[in-house]
Every structure is written in C-alpha cells, then in structure tokens.
Amino acid sequence: MSESGLPCVEGLFSAEDGVATLHGSKCTGCNTPYFPRSEACHNPDCTGSNIVDFDFGGSGTLWSYSVADFPPPPPHKFDKPFAPYAIGVVDMECGLRLIGQMVDKAEDVKVDAKVELVIDTLYHEDDVAYSSWKFKQI
C-alpha cells in the first residue's frame, strides 16, 4: 500500500503487513468461491448451499484487459486530472475470475501475464486516501 488510508468500500478487503486480502465467501458443498460474499450458492447442481467466509489473495493470470481512456461516470471517483488506467480480468489461483484496476501502465500490460493482488490508492477526498484492490504484473 502506497499510503495509509481507508478502503473505498468497507468490508470487501484489507491490507495487513503489505499483504492484500479480499473477503469473499465459499460454498462448502461444492467448493465454489464468491466475491463479494454471496448469501447463497449459485450452483444449481449443489444441494448444500452452505456458505462460509473465504479470504483470498495471491496471484493469477491476466485473461484480458482494457483501458479506461475517458473518466467513467459517477459513482466512480478519481483524482484530477484524470489519468487513463488499465483494467484487468484475472483468472485467480483461488478459482475466481476477478476484475480490478492495474497498477501497471496500460502500455506495459500483456494478456497472459502473471499478476498479484495488491491494495493501492484509488482516489483522494478531503485529504484522505481511499484504496481498492488492484493487480500488479509480476
């Protein structure tokens, strides 16, 4: 984490000792992970639907990415002047295909690259840094 601050949305993730942890859930019946937490299992072949908390982090492979060349409309928040950023779709080792901003510059991002989860600043408001999870190419 580049600076101390607050998460952009409470309860979704945390960063301790520099390690990014996302707080999801998992069905113990069929082992399906969810993020954010799901209250029920979405697998129609799973009769258990026994959901427990599931924390994950770690690394994955970049399935694809795009670039936000224009500022997205609210409720997105960003520091001005707007700087284009890359958005990654990552196949995580924990079994989730997860979306997040990339820390890397758009021109450096490559499909199929190995990436890891980090927590990084998303925007500032009233001198407070608000953070989110992002991907960083390894």
Partner 1 sequence: MQEVAVIGVGMHRFGKTGDDIVGTKSVGSLCRTAVDAALKDAGVNWKQIQAVAAASSRFSGGKGWGLNGNDVVEDLGSTGIPVYNMSAGCAAGGNAFNVGYSMVAGGVYDMMLVVGGEVMPKGMIQTSGVEEATDPEFLRQRCIGMPGPSFWSTLARRRMFEYGTTEEQFSQVAVKARKCSVHNPMARFQKEITVEDVMNSPYVSNPLRLFQICPVSNGAAAAIICSKEYAKKFTSKPITVASSTVATMTFNDMLPRGLADPMTECANLHTEAQNAVANAFEKSGIGPGDVSFTELQDNTCYYELAFPEEWGLCEAGESESLLMAGETTPTGRMPINPSGGFVSFGEATTAMGVFQIAELTWQLRGQAGGRQVPDAKVGLAQTLGLGGNATAAILKR
What is the spatial distance between Cα 33 and Cα 45, in angstroms, rounded to a whole number? 15
Establish if 63 lies at the interface with partner 1 (CB under 8 A).
yes
For partner 1, the binding residue among 49, 89, 114, 121 (CB under 8 A) is: 89
| Cα dist from 79 to 75, 95, 101, 122, 135, whole Å | 13, 33, 14, 8, 19
Q: CA gyration radius for the chain?
A: 16
Q: Which two tokens stand for residue 14?
A: 């945390």
Residues 94-133 that bind partner 1 (CB under 8 A): 95-101, 106, 111-112, 122, 132-133
Residue type, 79: D
Site string (2-41) toward partner 1, x via CB under 8 A: ------xxxxx-----------x-------xxxxx-----
Binding site for partner 1 (CB under 8 A): 8-12, 24, 32-36, 42-45, 63-70, 72-78, 85, 87, 89, 91-92, 95-101, 106, 111-112, 122, 132-133
